[in-house]
Amino acid sequence: MLSNRICGEQSVLLKALQFIVFLALIPVAAQTTIIIQDIPPSTPKSDILYVAGSFNNWNASDPDYSFKLNADGKYGLTIPEYIDQSILAYKITRGSWEKVEVGHEGHPTLVRKFSPKKTSRDTIFLTVSGWADIIGKVKNARMVTVNVVKIPEGTPPEAPIYVTGNFNGWVPGDKRYELLKTSNGHWQTQVPVIFDLLEYKFTRGNWPTVEGKAYGRPRLNRKTKIEPKTSTIEASISHWEDQSFGLFNPYTLVLLLSAVQGLLLVLIINSFENNNKRANRFLSVLIFLISFALASRVSIYDRSVYEAFPRLALFPDIVYFLYAPIFLFYINQLLNSSEKLSRKTWFHFIPFFVQLIIYIQFFLEPTHIFVERGIIRLSHPPIYVAVSAAALLFNAIYWFKIRSIVKTYFSNMGNTISNYQNITYLKNIMVVKWVCLVFWLLIYLVGAIGILFNFDTINITNAMVDFNWILFSLTVYILGYFAIKQPEIFKIQPIEILENAKSVPNDREIIHLQSQLKTVMDTEKLYLNPTLNLPELADRLNSSVHIMSRTINEGFGKNFRDFVNQYRVQDFIERVEQEGYKNHTFLGIALDVGFNSKSSFNRSFKKVVGKTPSEYFNSPK
């Protein structure tokens, strides 16, 4: 019954993720018509209007993209159906970039953007406020020289290089600002000083070929404060986004290998035959969640993938409020046999559903707005900062709760189960999570210092975020290591948490039960059962767990595990000295007498005898 409920919860979670993927992967391709409703009165009547954009390589006078004057006095143009772009970026010109549209006061206008819908036809209505050659600020602006002293080695020899920025509305292929190679091997052009702060980037004519950082990472806008004496701006281009490894680089390979290993681990873990299938189902969901988040983060490093499915950038955030509750359920099912799922289980997912409500707006908004938000996200806008901060607090609370459960397990383990349980991997995972949380907090502290001292820390915090994802991926590597080296870790025996007994046995009852216990252990050899636990032993003697525990603690001066292992060690010694076991290995005999692993046997033997098995049998009797 519980198994069916768990499977049902997994099914609901997976269906929700599939729905999000469906929203993100809806293809877009449509016929788009642009209608210019009004143009400046100063527009020469003989001039032809054109649209230059991402779909025609920013050609300012492309005859295939010229407007026709309609009978109603408006200009119309239909972009061909074969244009299949999720975002159309464009500007209106009169045949050259010197005659591009500008704002009312002559300032450059930002590139117009539109996200086509999957419909038979889209129509854009717009108004042109002015023209650069008539009222543009560029005409009378002071010019500064942009001097590029170095470009990436892989730059195609014949490829043009442009500078784009707030001085031209961010047109990536503006012919006015093409850099020309000089005799000294540099590349130069001049740009107008329209604003005190010049923001700019270099491109090879379009956004897919914009400059970036190592490994395909986007770089923030360059910024230069223009002083009265500023005449030249020197720059160096280190990478082009389309030539920087993209999807495959050292950083993404670490995440990608972790994601693939996680999927393999899900198959391996579920192939084990053990008594913890309930716990391992939660572990499988947890590992799949981690792998999905890591793969999603890797995918956005490829520009072609990101341009086709930009909303994949949101998917890594699903771990914010899902990881901790699922990990908690796994720990409870693994270590505490009395922990049951209930309707209250869903309360743990309330923060995730709140996050889903916040994020759903990103799936519904036009693609170009989402992409711009994604670019701004590099600067950590408030909505992402708030969600991430809430997630940090949320995960910290769960970390301490899980730590408490693990500590309780350790304190009860010796009094409840008869073999040592190897849960080193849990300790390692908890340490990794603690480091992630501390590093997560440091990211906010570094950002706060930057704000207080007016210091730009964006590059630092972005690098710290990347490093934290590498730390997070270590979870899968740790599980993979232990799955190969010690597969028994996925067969941990759950324990029953001992509570304070309501009735206290007297000395006579303890002595009587102590005698019964000796007899049963000697005659029935219950210790040969490697999974023997306190509840089973108490049930055999028709006693309660609490009375049995107290009898062993007070009557024998040991905890349950040491009590049982003393019998196992004694039986082991007797068998080794028998002629019939001369050809058996120590480990084989140890498993025969009830130990479940070599490490458990060695630890118990030395605790009982004071020596290792080899030391004991090699020493003179």
Q: How many domains does the chain have?
A: 4
Q: What local confidence, expressed as pLDDT, does residue 13 receive?
A: 46
- Amino acid identity of residue 374, one-letter, is G
Alpha helices (H) in 495-585, listed in sequence order:
507-524, 534-540, 545-550, 560-576
pLDDT at residue 255 greater than cutoff 80: yes
Are 539 and 391 in a shared domain? no
Q: Which ranges in 233-377 belong to alpha helices (H)?
A: 250-269, 277-299, 303-308, 319-335, 350-364, 367-377
β-strand 88-93 against 50-53: which pairing, if any?
antiparallel
Give tens-digit pLDDT for 430-481: 999 999 999 999 999 998 998 888 887 878 888 899 899 999 999 888 887 7
pLDDT at residue 604 is higher than 50: yes
Measured in whole angstroms, how far is the alpha carbon of residue 333 from the centre of its chain?
A: 25
Tell me the pLDDT tens digit for each residue of 272-297: 765 567 788 888 999 999 999 999 98
User: Which distant-in-sequence residues (6+ apart) come within 8 Å of 212 by Cβ?
Assistant: 218, 219, 239, 240, 241, 244
pTM passes above 0.75: no
Please tell me the predicted confidence (pLDDT) of residue 428: 85
Establish if 428 belongs to a structural domain: yes
**Is residue 374 within 8 Å of 207, Cβ to Cβ?**
no
pLDDT of residue 600: 84
CATH, residue 515: 1.10.10.60
What does the DSSP 8-state code read for residue 551? Answer: I
Which backbone phi and psi does 525 adopt, to 5 degrees? 50, 55
Does any domain span residue 99? yes
Q: Could you tell me which residues are beta bridge partners of residue 616?
A: none
Task: Report yes or no on 289 lying in a domain.
Answer: yes
Answer whether residue 76 is part of any domain. yes
Please tell me the number of Cα atoms within 13 Å of 312 on its side-chain side: 21
3-class SS of residue 574: helix
Give yes or no for residue 181 having a pLDDT over 90. Answer: yes
Domain range enclosing 541: 507-618
pLDDT at 247 over 80: no
Q: Is residue 499 part of a domain?
A: no
Q: What is the pLDDT of residue 365?
A: 79
Question: Among 477, 547, 486, which Cα is nearest to 511's?
Answer: 547
Q: Are residues 405 and 293 part of one domain?
A: yes
Question: With 50 as the cut, is the pLDDT of residue 299 above it?
Answer: yes
Percent of the chain with pLDDT over 90: 42
How do residues 386-421 score in pLDDT, each as one tens digit?
999 999 999 999 999 999 988 887 776 666 666 666
Question: CA neighbours within 13 Å on the CB side: how many for 423?
Answer: 20
pLDDT of 112 over the 90 cut? yes
Q: In terms of domains, do 337 and 392 share one?
A: yes
Average pLDDT over residues 563-577: 90
pLDDT value of position 504: 63
Residues 195, 217 within the same domain: yes
514 and 592 share a domain? Answer: yes
Task: Please give the angle made by the CA atoms of 291, 292 and 297, to the nearest 5 degrees.
Answer: 100
Last residue of a domain, one of 113, 135, 157: 135
Specify if 497 maps to a domain. Answer: no
Average pLDDT over residues 63-81: 90
Report pLDDT for 557: 87
Tokens of 260: 């693939």
The one-character DSSP state at 552 is I
Instruction: Categorize the per-residue pLDDT at 376 as very low, low, confident or very high, splitting at 50, 70 and 90.
Output: very low
Distance (Å, whole) CA 612 – CA 600:
12
Does the pLDDT at position 496 exceed 70?
Answer: no
24 token code pair: 């993100």
pLDDT at 198: 95
- Nearest C-alpha neighbor of 331 from the set 250, 413, 430: 430
Distance in angstroms (rounded) separating the CA atoms of residues 403 and 426: 10
The verdict on 280 and 397 lying in the same domain is yes
What b-and-e string marks burial along 202-220, b requiring 16 or more CB atoms within 10 Å of the CB?
A: bbbbbbebbbbbebbbbbe
Q: Quick one: 326 and 380 in the same domain?
A: yes
Domain endpoint, select from 79, 114, 135 = 135
Residues 106, 146: one domain?
no
- How far apart CA 254 and CA 473 sit, in angstroms, is 8
State the distance between the two ends of the chain, measured CA to CA, in whole angstroms: 57
Q: Is the pLDDT of residue 75 over 60?
A: yes
**3-state class (DSSP) for residue 155:** coil
Residues 177 and 104 in one domain: no
Q: How far apart are CA 421 and CA 471, in angstroms?
A: 26
pLDDT reading at 104 higher than 70: yes
Domain co-membership, 469 together with 482: yes
At residue 94, the 3 state secondary structure works out as coil
- Tell me, yes or no, whether 281 and 303 share the same domain: yes
Average pLDDT over residues 211-230: 85
Task: Tell the residue number behind the tokens 């850099």, with chain if given.
Answer: 179
Confirm if 24 and 61 have CB atoms less than 8 A apart. Answer: no
416 part of a folded domain: yes
Q: Is 453 helix (H, G, I), strand (E, B) or coil?
A: coil
Question: Please, what is the average pLDDT of the chain?
Answer: 84
String of DSSP letters for 472-495: HHHHHHHHHHHHHH-GGGGGPPPB
Give the pLDDT band (50/70/90) at residue 536.
confident
Nearest CA among 97, 95, 201 for reference residue 146: 201
CATH number assigned to the domain comprising residue 103: 2.60.40.10
Per-residue pLDDT tens over the stretch 4-59: 444 454 455 445 544 544 444 444 445 789 999 999 999 999 999 999 998 899 99
Q: What is the pLDDT of residue 556?
A: 86
Picking from 89, 105, 135, the residue at the C-terminal end of a domain is: 135
* 81/469: higher pLDDT: 469
Contact 28, 118 (CB under 8 A): yes
Same domain (yes/no): 449, 332: yes
**pLDDT bucket at 145, cuts 50 / 70 / 90:** very high
% of the chain with per-residue pLDDT over 70 = 83
Contact (CB, 8 A) for 485 and 460: no
